[in-house]
Amino acid sequence: MLTAVAIVVDGAVFAAWLFIVSVGLTLIYGVMRILNIAHGSLYALGAYTAAWLVGAYFAQGYPPLAGYLLLPAAALLVGVVAGLAIERGVLRLMYGRDEVIMVLVTYAIFLVLEDVIKLIWGVDPYFAYQPYGLLGTVDVLGLPYPIYDLATIALAIVIGAVVWWGLNRTRVGKLLIAVIHDREMSMAVGIDVTRLFAVTFVLGAVLAALGGAVSAPKISVVPGIGVEVIVLAFAVVVIGGLGSVGGAMIGAVIVGFARAAAVHLLPEAELFVIYAIMAAVLVVRPYGLFAKPEARRI
Amino acid sequence: MTLGRNPTVLVLAAAAVGLLGLGLLMPDWLRFLVQISLANSLAVLGVMLQMRAGLVSFGQGLYYCIGGYAAGMSGHLLGVSDAFALLLLGLVASILVAMALGLLMSRYREIFFAMLSLAFSMILYGLLVRAEALGSTDGFNVPPATFLGIAFKGGEHRYATYALTCALAFVVALALNRYLVSTLGYLGDAIRENEIRVEYLGASVRRTLYIKYVIAAGVSGLGGGLVAIAVGHVDPDLAYWTTSGEFVFVALLSGTGNVLAPFVGSLLLEFIRTFAFAYAPYTWQMILGGTMLLLILFLPGGLWSVIGARAERS
Amino acid sequence: MLRGTNAHRASALGAGIALAVGLGIAAPGSAQDGSSLRIGIVTFLSGGAAGPFGVPARNAAELMVSALNEGSVPAPYDSKGIAGATIEPIIIDEAGGTQTQVSEYRNLVERQNVDLVIGYISSGDCQAVAPVVEELKRLTVFFDCGTPQIFEETVTDPQYLFRTGPTATMDSVGAARYLLEVAPDTESFAGINQNYAWGQDSWNDFVAAMKVLKPEVEVVGEQFPKLYAGQYGAEISALLTSGADAVHSSFWGGDLEGFVFQAAARGLFQRSKVVLTTGETAMFRLGAQMPDGSIIGARGPHGVFAPDSPLNDWFRQQYFDRYGTWPTYPSYKMAQAILGVKTAYEKAAGAGGALPSQEEVIAAFEGLEYEAPSGTVKMAIGNGHQAIQGVTYGIYSYDRDSGQPSLTDVRSYQAECVNPPDAVKSLDWINSGFEGASC
C-alpha cells in the first residue's frame, strides 16, 4: 500500500518535472520542425543562472520568500537572451534546410554552449538549496515529501494550462497552431512565419530554462546536466507525439509513472525502461500517441 | 562498369595502395589515427547507405557495438583469436540482429526512423551497462588478434591490423560502390525522392529498405570489429547516442555522393578532434561544435544532392 | 558532374589533411635533453567528473610541479625538479571515452614524446590504456582509478605500469568494518549507487564484506539510478520505505550533492545511517547542508584524515593559498603519484644525479615505500606495482558557529587490513573471510 502511494506521488513529481522540461521541445518542433538538441543547454543555462542568482540573493540576506521569484526571472532572462541569440544568430541562416541538418545544427550549438557554460561558470558546482527546504515537508502516509516537489506538480499543471490557453485562445496562439498544421498555407495566407519562429523559439527556450531553474534548488548544478535532459525530453515528446502539447503531458505521465514503478518494483530495469516504452509506443503508433499523421506528397 | 571508366574505383585502389605503403612510413600515432578513422568510416558508410534512401539512422552504434562486442566476446568465451574469424562473427551477429529488427524498422521514415533507431541502440547500451559479467561501463579488453594462426608481435602486429583494416575498407568500399550503381542502389535514391511512385512502378519499397538496413548493419558491424581489434577494448559507449551522432555528422559533413566521402570526412574529424584536445584542452567541445556549424553553413556543397534536392522540394 | 565535384572537394580536403599532418608531425615533440622531464598528465577537465576529481587533481599537479621545480617542497623532496631535471607537464583532458583516450595516450607517448604519463581517473580508461602501456613500453602511473582488475586480470605481469593509489575494494571493506564498529546493531542495509561499473563494484564489495563480517545482516534495497540522473525522488522513497538501518552510497560529484539535498530534506539521514564512501570530496562545499551523523570516507587517509606532518601541513597550506579551498583526495592522490615518481627517479639516479634510464627507474619504483602528504605509500602488491594504503572513516558534524566541518570518531584501518595480499584477487579475498589480513 505504501509502495503504491509512493509510486503515485513519485511518479507525479517526476512527470511534472518531465513535462516542464519537455513542453518547450515539442512546441519548437511542432511549429518550426526543428528537433532542438540545444534544449539541454538551455535547461543548463536556466539552472546555472537560477543557482547563481539564488546563491547571491540569499548570501545578501534578503527576505527568503521573494527568492522564489528569481526562478522564473532567471528563466525569462535566459530564454530571451539565449533564445534570441540562437534563433537570430544561427538558426535564421539555416531555415529551409533539411530537418536532419537542423538537428545537427542544434547539436553543434549544444557543444558550443557546453563550453560557454564552462567558461562562464567553471567546473565547480553551484547550489541553490535554500528555496528547496523553505517550504518544509509534508507527510504522506509516513513518507515525508518536500512541499517544493509537490509545488512543481502544481506548477506543471499551471504551465500546461497557460500554454493550452495561449495556443487556443490568443491570436498569436492560433497563428502558431495554423503554422503547426500547415506551414505553406500559413505563409500563403500572409502569416509572418519568420517572426512567429522567433516567438516560438524564445518561448520554447524560456520553458526549457524554466525547467532548469525549477530543478536548480534540488540538484547540484554541474557541467553536463544538460545531456541527461536531452534524451529524457526526446523520449517524452516522441511518445506523446512531436508537436502536441497534450501529448507531451501524456508522455510525461507515462514515463514518470513507469520510472517510479521501475524504481520501486524492479530497479534493474530502470536504466532502459524509458527506451523500451519509446520503442513500444513507436511500434504501435508510429507517430507517437497524439501526433497527426502527415499526408505524404505524391 | 569497367575499371577505366570509373574514376572512383581507381581512386579507391590508389588510396588503398597508398595507405598500405604510407603505413610503413608513418609514425605509429598517425597510423593508429588513420586505422581508427578507416574503421569508423565503415559505420559512416552504413549511415550513408541509408541516408541515400532518405533514412537517417541515429542508432547505427547498435551494430557498431554488436560487431565490437562479438569480436571481443568471441575472444574470451570461444577462445577465437583469428582476426578474420572475429570479424566474421561480428558481421554475422550484426546481420542476424538486423534481419530481425529490419522487419520493424523498414516501416518507419524520417524522424521516427531516427528516433526508433536511437531507442534500440540505447536499449543495447542499457543492457550492456547492466551486464556486470561484461564489465558494465568499463567494458573489457580484446585479446590481440592472430592472422590465420600467425601471432605477430609489436610493430609487425600493429602493421598487420592496420593492413587488414585498409584491405577490408577497400573491399567494402568497392562492393558498396558497385552496389550503389546497381538497380537496388538507385532504388534507394528513388525511394528518397518519392516513395509512392516507386511502389506504383512495381518495386517493393519495404523490401529494398530492409535489404539496405541489413547491409548497413553488416558494414557497421565490421567497422565495430575492426575498432575492437585496433583499440583492444570495447565498452558500451560504442552504442551510446553520441557515437551514432558522430557517424551522422561525418556522413553529412562529407556528403553522400560517393563512397570515398566518408573516409575523408572521418579522417578530418579525427584530426580536428585530436588537435583540439592537444591545443585547446579546455575548449575542444566548442571547437568541434563551431567547426560543425561553419561547415554546415559554408560548405553546402559538402552536403550533396541528397540534402540539397530535398531542401528545394520542401 | 557529381563525381567531378566530389573529386575536387576530396582533393581539397586531402590537401588540408596533408597540411595538418605535416604540422602535426612537425609539432613539438622535443627530444629528451636531460635537463627537462616531460610528464603527460591526464585528468578530467570537462564533464561531470571535472569538478569533484579532475580539476582538484590538475590543481595539485600544477602546484607540485611548480613547487618541485623551485625546490620548495619540504624534505625529503627539497631537491629541485626530479633528479635535477625541470618538470614540464603536458595536461590532457580525460574526456571523450576510451577510444579517444587510447588514441590520446598514443599521441602523448609517440607524438609528444613524453618521458612518462601520470593520470586516469576513470576505470574504463585505465582498463583500455593498461595494455597499451605495456605495448608502447613507456612508464605510466595510474593515480586514481579504482578497479582492482588492472593488475588482477588485465595486466598480470606489469613492467611499465604502476598505480600509486590503492584499489576501490579498500573503500568498501573499510566502510563495512567501520559501520559495524560504530553501529553494531545494524540488521539491515540498503544501497544507492550509480548504475555503472564503479557503483556496481562498490556495492558488490560492500555487500560481500558485510556478509563476511556479520552473516545475518539483510539487504533490503538496491537502487541503481543512471549516472548523472540528478533526481532521486523515487529512489529515496524506496529507501525510506525499506526501513534499512544503514544506507551505502558510492555516489560522487553532482549526484552525491543532489542526493544529499534531496535525502536530507526528507529525513533519510535521520532514519538510517548513511555511508558515503567518497563523501570527503563534497564536505567542504556542502558545509551545513551535509547532515550531522553521516559517515564519510575519503578513499584513503586523505584530506582531513591525513596525519599531521610537515609535508601534509605544507601541502594543505600551499593548496589553500593558491586555490582558495582545501585539497581533497584527488589532489592528494595526484601529489602522491608525482612524489612517488620523484622518489623512484632519485633512488635510481643515486648520488651521481644524472637522469636515470627508464629501466633503472622502474627497478627503483617496484616495491617502493615513500612518504606522501597522506602518509606512507607502499608499492606492496601487484608484483610491486600496486600501492596499498590504509583507509579512514569518520562521522561528520558541522559547527555552525565557526562554520567549519569536522569529523569525529575517526577510525583508521591499516593497509594490510583492508587490501588483499599480493597475488590474491580482491573478491576472492573478501569471500574467503579476508584471509591473510592483519588488522
pLDDT in tens, chain A (298 residues): 788 889 999 999 999 999 999 999 999 988 888 889 999 999 999 999 999 999 898 888 888 888 888 899 999 999 999 999 999 888 888 877 777 778 888 988 998 998 899 899 988 889 988 888 888 889 888 889 999 999 999 999 999 999 988 888 898 888 888 887 788 888 899 888 888 889 999 999 999 999 999 999 999 998 888 888 888 898 898 888 888 888 899 999 999 999 999 898 888 777 778 888 888 888 888 777 877 656 555 5
Quote the minimal CA–CA distance from A41 to chain B in Å.
13
C169-298+390-431 has the same fold as C36-166+308-388: yes
Average pLDDT over every residue of B133-143: 88
With beta carbons under 8 A apart, name residues in chain B contacting C3: 7-8, 257-258
Residue B311 has pLDDT above 80, yes or no: no
With beta carbons under 8 A apart, name residues in chain C contacting A270: 195, 224-226
Burial of B305 (0-12, 13-18, 19+ CB in 10 A): middle
The predicted structure's pLDDT at residue C219: 95
Range of the domain at B135: 7-240
Rounded to 5 degrees, φ, ψ at C408 are: -115, 170
The predicted structure's pLDDT at residue B275: 85
Residue C325 has pLDDT above 50, yes or no: yes
Q: Which chains are within 8 Å of A by 3+ CB pairs?
A: B, C
**Could you say which of B114, B127, B289 has the minimum Cβ distance to residue A109?**
B289
The predicted structure's pLDDT at residue A61: 81
Between positions 164 and 223 of C, the ones with CB within 8 A of A are 195, 222-223
- Counting the structural domains of chain B, the total is 1
Q: What is the pLDDT of residues C218-263, one digit of tens each?
A: 999 999 998 888 889 999 999 999 999 999 999 998 899 999 999 9
Residue C3 has pLDDT above 90, yes or no: no
Q: What is the pLDDT of residues B85-129, one digit of tens each?
A: 999 999 999 999 999 999 999 988 877 888 889 989 999 998 999
Topology at the third CATH level for domain C169-298+390-431: Rossmann fold (3.40.50)
Long-range contacts of B80-86 (CB under 8 A, 24+ apart): B81/B143, B81/B144, B81/B145, B81/B146, B81/B151, B82/B145, B82/B146, B82/B147, B82/B148, B82/B149, B83/B145, B83/B146, B83/B147, B83/B161, B83/B164, B83/B229, B84/B147, B84/B148, B86/B145, B86/B225, B86/B228, B86/B229
Tell if the CB–CB gap between B104 and A101 is shorter than 8 Å: no
Identify the residue with better confidence: A297 or B60.
B60
Q: Are B27 and C106 in contact (CB under 8 A)?
A: no
Residue B111 included in any domain: yes
**Could you say which of B112, B194, B297 has the minimum Cβ distance to residue A286?**
B112
The predicted structure's pLDDT at residue C271: 92
With beta carbons under 8 A apart, name residues in chain A contacting B111: 35, 99, 242
Residue B136 included in any domain: yes
**Could you say which of B125, B196, B303 has the minimum Cβ distance to residue A298?**
B196
Confidence of residue C30 (pLDDT cuts 50, 70, 90): very low
**Could you say which of C7, C102, C112 has the minimum Cβ distance to residue B233?**
C102
Q: Hey, is the C-beta of B115 within 8 angstroms of any chain A C-beta?
A: yes
Q: Which of C107, C198, C224 to mutate to test the interface with B (most CBs of B within 10 A)?
A: C107
With beta carbons under 8 A apart, name residues in chain B contacting C200: 132, 136
The domains of chain C are located at 36-166+308-388, 169-298+390-431
Between positions 271 and 310 of B, the ones with CB within 8 A of A are 282-286, 288-290, 292-293, 296-297, 303, 307, 310
With beta carbons under 8 A apart, name residues in chain C contacting A16: none
ipTM of predicted complex: 0.89
The predicted structure's pLDDT at residue B304: 43
Comparing A114-128, C198-212, C306-320, the range with the smallest average pLDDT is A114-128
Between positions 366 and 425 of C, the ones with CB within 8 A of B are none
Quote the minimal CA–CA distance from A5 to chain C in Å.
10
Residue B256 included in any domain: no
Residue A136 included in any domain: yes
Residue C17 has pLDDT above 60, yes or no: no
Q: Which of A35, A98, A103, A183 to mutate to test the interface with B (most CBs of B within 10 A)?
A: A98
Quote the minimal CA–CA distance from B107 to chain C in Å.
31
With beta carbons under 8 A apart, name residues in chain C contacting B285: 46
Residue B234 has pLDDT above 50, yes or no: yes
The predicted structure's pLDDT at residue C415: 92
The predicted structure's pLDDT at residue C400: 87
Q: What is the pLDDT of residues C137-195, one digit of tens each?
A: 999 999 999 999 999 989 999 999 999 999 999 999 999 999 999 999 999 999 999 98
Separation of alpha carbons A37 and A14, rounded Å? 21
Q: Are B98 and B50 in contact (CB under 8 A)?
A: no
The predicted structure's pLDDT at residue C260: 95
Highest mean pLDDT out of A208-217, B71-80, C352-361: A208-217
The predicted structure's pLDDT at residue A177: 83
The predicted structure's pLDDT at residue B297: 78
The predicted structure's pLDDT at residue A183: 80
Range of the domain at A100: 25-225
Q: Which of B8, B29, B282 to mutate to test the interface with C (most CBs of C within 10 A)?
A: B29
Residue C15 has pLDDT above 60, yes or no: no
User: DSSP for B88-134?
Assistant: HHHHHHHHHHHHHHHHHHTT--HHHHHHHHHHHHHHHHHHHHH-GGG
**Could you say which of C16, C97, C110 has the minimum Cβ distance to residue B27?**
C110
Closest to A217 (Cα-Cα) out of A86, A23, A72: A72
DSSP reduced 3-state for B55: coil
pTM: 0.89
The predicted structure's pLDDT at residue A298: 53
Residue A40 included in any domain: yes
Residue B65 included in any domain: yes
Residue B248 has pLDDT above 50, yes or no: yes
Q: Hey, is the C-beta of C98 within 8 angstroms of any chain B C-beta?
A: yes
Residue C103 has pLDDT above 80, yes or no: yes
Q: Which CATH class is domain C36-166+308-388?
A: alpha beta
Identify the residue with better confidence: C127 or B254.
C127
